[in-house]
Chains A and B, each alone.
Chain A
Amino acid sequence: MNEVTLTIDGLAITAAEGTTVLRAALAGGVYIPHLCDHPDLDPVGVCRLCMVEIGGRMVPACRTPVSEGLTVATGSPLIDAVRRTAVELLIANHPEDCLTCSQNDDCQLQRVAAYVGVDRGRLGRLRRTAEEVPVDRSNPFFNYDSNKCVLCGICVRTCGQRQGVGAIDFAHRGFDTTVSTFGNGPLAESVCESCGECVVRCPVGALAPKALEQPSREVKSVCPYCGVGCGMYLGVRGNKIVSVRGDTENPANQGSLCVKGRFGQGFVNSPKRLTTPLVRKDGRLVEATWDEALDLVAETFSRHTGDQFATIASAKCTNEENYLAQKFTRAAMATHSIDHCARL
């Protein structure tokens, strides 16, 4: 891909042809306020926060392609005024519970507001007497609080374009515009597939996971469900998996996950896990030590080598485990009767 060099606030930035001024600036370490742009989605230019000046004209940086020699100014008295009004309109009615919001510290609205600098006094005049809308808690994995929504449309585009589901869309017009399901019903009763892709991309706390625990570290892994083998990072806190994040660098899934991958790893920490070997005594399975169980197995298997023995291996186990299972069957048990559920 060809590269071009442009100047943003006097700084020379090299970017790939075809990208936008906003993305080139962000990649080059220059912040331009923005809410409705997302690298995974086509730009739409609705929030108007990313306005910049090029050749004396005000243009949205997210909709302006880079070109050789382009000169961009990210601020001017006019731009600042436009931006401030846009931000103030957004936050005038935004709930003020930032500290208890799960997006705290990672919120694009906080970032934008801090950058623009907001005058508290003016907010009161902008406030509408809209009623607080109840939070949609119907989905088991995440909530939707439309009071916090900034109408960037990232969730709508994610669900519609990227996921091809279209569970949510804009409803009503003007001041009354909201994001909601078809017929305004709860998410759980919509065609939502609970993939969580909208939640991941929501720049504020409107779509937020129910699980609030943040991981203290992340471990690279692969989803244990279907054959796509999506790359994921398991978020771990103590000895518990508290979050799952799609691996954007993995070529198989490019960051995406489905509902099972993203929200279905809780089984690992299930209290129903087997925790001790069990041996059948007097018709009942009773707890045993590893030594007891393994000796019993080794001794009994020894008596049934060859045609009397078979292994059913697992398509959920690792390559190394399957290798050992077949080596065991062939080398130790002297039979090739090993199979797994590939056929099912």
Chain B
Amino acid sequence: MAGLVTSFGSGAMTNSIAEISDASCILAIGTNTTVAHPVIALRVKEAVRRGATLIVANPKEIDLCRFAGMFLRQKPGSDVALLMGMARVIVDEGLADEAFIEQRCEDFDAFKESLEAFDLDFVEQTTGVPRDKIVEAARCFATSKPAAILYAMGITQHIHGTDNVMAVANLALLTGNVGKPSSGVNPLRGQNNVQGACDMGALPNVYPGYQKVILPEVREKFEKAWGCSLPESVGLTHTEIFDAAYHGKIKAIYLIGENPILSEANANHVKEAIDKTEFLVVQDIFMTETAELADVVLPAAAFAEKDGTFTNTERRVQRIHKAVDSPGEAKPDCWITSQIAQRMGVAGFDFAGPAEIMAEIASLTPAYGGISYDRLGNEGLQWPCPTPDHPGTPFLHGAKFAAPSGKGRFVPLEYKPSAETADEKYPLILTTDRSLFHFHTATMTRKVAGLEALDDRELLKINPADATRLGVEHGQTVRVASRRGKMTVEVDVTDVCPPGVVSATFHFAESPTNELTNSALDPVAKIPETKVCAVRIEKVS
């Protein structure tokens, strides 16, 4: 997200889901769309049916490859090299959209200079993708308009994830594919309300609407609205919070609907951090692995038991309605948080209901300024929607970019290797993935018998060549070890993974993949590198 803010001035998906069907070229990089965002994948398939060329760039041969005109199988962690290589071809062959660059962008020259380092010999060697494929993909992307880029965690979960995102953005700017329907840079958000949680300022550096915590005028605005004084410096990120807890600096944690023991990279470290936390409050709908360690567990209402709004990956704010009563004493999160605040004697938490909270959100969040429950109707509204008569915004950066300069910014980049690379001791690269049938740590999906029946255990995917070399067979149980932890898991021998790369999900508590993964952080976005981690495989007798 930080990367897109640098390039475009906004971190959100630039275009709308429905527009994807009309793209004439789609580059899907670092997204296993049919599995993680199945209904967006339907639009991609529809575009292909209508004649679009799909370029899949992924270390693994994902299901979407069946629809792809081109499959670029870059080595894990080599995305910057691949994207810059494509950019280099586009510039060298005079395929760049010069009018767009001239009128709508800035810093092109510095970017162009940084392309010098990406001659095709270097790119081919670094990515493992044959040069004519890179050339072909670059030409196709530059000449088929509109062209859209889709990406997900395969781009962001790297130590240089921010660079990856900016490389994606550079490519879109270079070809003039921003600010038009069916084009753009489209990060597909994982959880159903990640977009909304970010918009609402559940982030350590911004208030609702990405208003910066460090700006005095912003602070004063919120101090006035909330009637309190507010801290001046930014807070800690997810991973930093657990580091601080580990070092005894954080003593109380309020954990809402999260299961970091399974989801966090380097999960053992998180477990220790939680052990050292004096007071952990977990608010959730189920007893999770993390809740077991809490001092207080508060039972929350599920989505079907309350009113409110979610904001999907295309910035669409949509209403949910209460369908059933909560079991037992479970209560909506709004009620619980308000109760705690009120019992602490803090004012400003006596809302009559979610509609009233939305009114306060609209009054303080410019992009949500025109949003109210009355207006959400059947289709919801896509932000920015600044005023009550604004129809919402299907695609961003139409007339000008959201950045203060109004321009799209090219960012010069260099190639940086992953924090961990394969070596003698840990000769394979483990990358994390998802299953179609489960979600995240599977707190919800594993409670559904049918989903559990379709997919009930972790399988470590491994290339037949590696399997033969290691003498392991399909279905055999092995131990996978990294510098941080180990787990035992059943092996699935498949061509989906290239030689040297293995993959696993993190849905199953029995095989806690994130005990292995690396929590090395991208320095800007602070996202851990769960997509690249060196491992070795040992036989268990």
Do A and B interact with each other, yes or no?
A: yes
Of residues 182 through 216 on chain B, the ones whose CB sits less than 8 Å from some CB of chain A are 188-205, 207-208, 213
Given contacts A321-B332, A338-B204, contact A295 B191 (CB under 8 A): no
Contact with B along A238-263 (1 / 0, CB 8 A): 01110000010111111011111101
A-chain residues with CB within 8 Å of residue B333 when the two chains form the complex:
314, 317-318, 321, 324-325
B-chain residues with CB within 8 Å of residue A322 when the two chains form the complex:
193, 196-197, 200-202
The answer on a CB contact under 8 Å between B36 and A277 is no
In the bound complex, CA of A164 to CA of B68 (Å): 12
Does B320 belong to the interface (CB within 8 Å)? yes
Contact with A along B300-327 (1 / 0, CB 8 A): 1011111011111110111111111101
Closest residue of B by beta carbon distance from A290:
B329
The answer on a CB contact under 8 Å between A323 and B339 is no
Does A20 belong to the interface (CB within 8 Å)? no
The answer on a CB contact under 8 Å between B38 and A229 is no
Chain B residues bordering chain A, tally (CB within 8 A):
153
The answer on a CB contact under 8 Å between B296 and A280 is yes
Complex interface: stretch among B103-111, B461-469, B522-530 = B522-530
Of residues 308 through 344 on chain A, the ones whose CB sits less than 8 Å from some CB of chain B are 308-332, 334-344
Closest residue of A by beta carbon distance from B308:
A318
In the bound complex, CA of A260 to CA of B286 (Å): 18
Does A163 belong to the interface (CB within 8 Å)? yes
Of residues 164 through 192 on chain B, the ones whose CB sits less than 8 Å from some CB of chain A are 188-192
Contact with A along B436-456 (1 / 0, CB 8 A): 111110001101111101100
Of residues 1 through 27 on chain B, the ones whose CB sits less than 8 Å from some CB of chain A are 1, 16-18
In the bound complex, CA of A326 to CA of B225 (Å): 14
- A226 CB contact (under 8 Å) in B190, B256, B327, B525: B190
In the bound complex, CA of A38 to CA of B138 (Å): 39
Does A194 belong to the interface (CB within 8 Å)? yes
Does B252 belong to the interface (CB within 8 Å)? yes
A-chain residues with CB within 8 Å of residue B203 when the two chains form the complex:
326, 338-340, 342
The answer on a CB contact under 8 Å between A240 and B328 is no
Does A70 belong to the interface (CB within 8 Å)? no
CB distance from A12 to the nearest CB of B (A): 31
Complex interface: stretch among B92-100, B120-128, B230-238, B494-502 = B230-238
- A318 CB contact (under 8 Å) in B45, B196, B238, B250: B196
Does B338 belong to the interface (CB within 8 Å)? yes
CB distance from B196 to the nearest CB of A (A): 4
The answer on a CB contact under 8 Å between B192 and A222 is yes
Closest residue of B by beta carbon distance from A343:
B527
Complex interface: stretch among B352-360, B400-408, B413-421 = B352-360
CB distance from B180 to the nearest CB of A (A): 18
The answer on a CB contact under 8 Å between A336 and B323 is no
Contacts between chains A and B (CB distance < 8 A), count? 468
Contact with A along B259-283 (1 / 0, CB 8 A): 0100111000000000000110100
Of residues 216 through 239 on chain A, the ones whose CB sits less than 8 Å from some CB of chain B are 219-231, 234, 236, 239
The answer on a CB contact under 8 Å between B334 and A324 is yes
In the bound complex, CA of A314 to CA of B337 (Å): 13
CB distance from B15 to the nearest CB of A (A): 12
CB distance from B43 to the nearest CB of A (A): 9
In the bound complex, CA of A227 to CA of B17 (Å): 11
CB distance from A238 to the nearest CB of B (A): 8
Given contacts A274-B297, A320-B357, contact A310 B244 (CB under 8 A): yes
In the bound complex, CA of A280 to CA of B279 (Å): 10
In the bound complex, CA of A302 to CA of B251 (Å): 12
CB distance from B276 to the nearest CB of A (A): 13
Given contacts A278-B297, A301-B254, contact A319 B361 (CB under 8 A): yes
The answer on a CB contact under 8 Å between B295 and A279 is yes
The answer on a CB contact under 8 Å between B309 and A341 is no
A-chain residues with CB within 8 Å of residue B294 when the two chains form the complex:
278, 280, 285
B-chain residues with CB within 8 Å of residue A272 when the two chains form the complex:
286-287, 447
Given contacts A193-B436, A260-B445, contact A234 B379 (CB under 8 A): no
Does B91 belong to the interface (CB within 8 Å)? no
In the bound complex, CA of A146 to CA of B514 (Å): 44
The answer on a CB contact under 8 Å between B310 and A222 is yes
Does B285 belong to the interface (CB within 8 Å)? yes
Closest residue of B by beta carbon distance from A336:
B235
Closest residue of A by beta carbon distance from B434:
A226
Which 10 A-B residue pairings sit nearest by Cβ, starting from the closest? A275-B328, A229-B312, A318-B308, A314-B257, A336-B235, A140-B450, A337-B235, A227-B189, A258-B38, A315-B191
25 CB contacts below 8 A, A to B, read: A226-B38, A234-B323, A236-B323, A239-B325, A259-B436, A264-B448, A273-B285, A273-B327, A278-B297, A296-B296, A297-B281, A299-B343, A300-B279, A307-B250, A308-B251, A312-B253, A315-B196, A316-B191, A323-B201, A323-B208, A323-B361, A326-B207, A332-B349, A339-B237, A343-B526
A interface list, Cβ under 8 A from B:
140-141, 161-164, 188, 193-195, 219-231, 234, 236, 239-241, 247, 249-254, 256-261, 263-270, 272-280, 285, 290, 293-302, 304, 306-332, 334-344
Given contacts A251-B18, A340-B258, 12 further A-B contacts (CB under 8 A): A193-B34, A259-B38, A260-B451, A268-B303, A268-B305, A317-B333, A319-B311, A324-B334, A330-B207, A331-B341, A332-B346, A342-B1
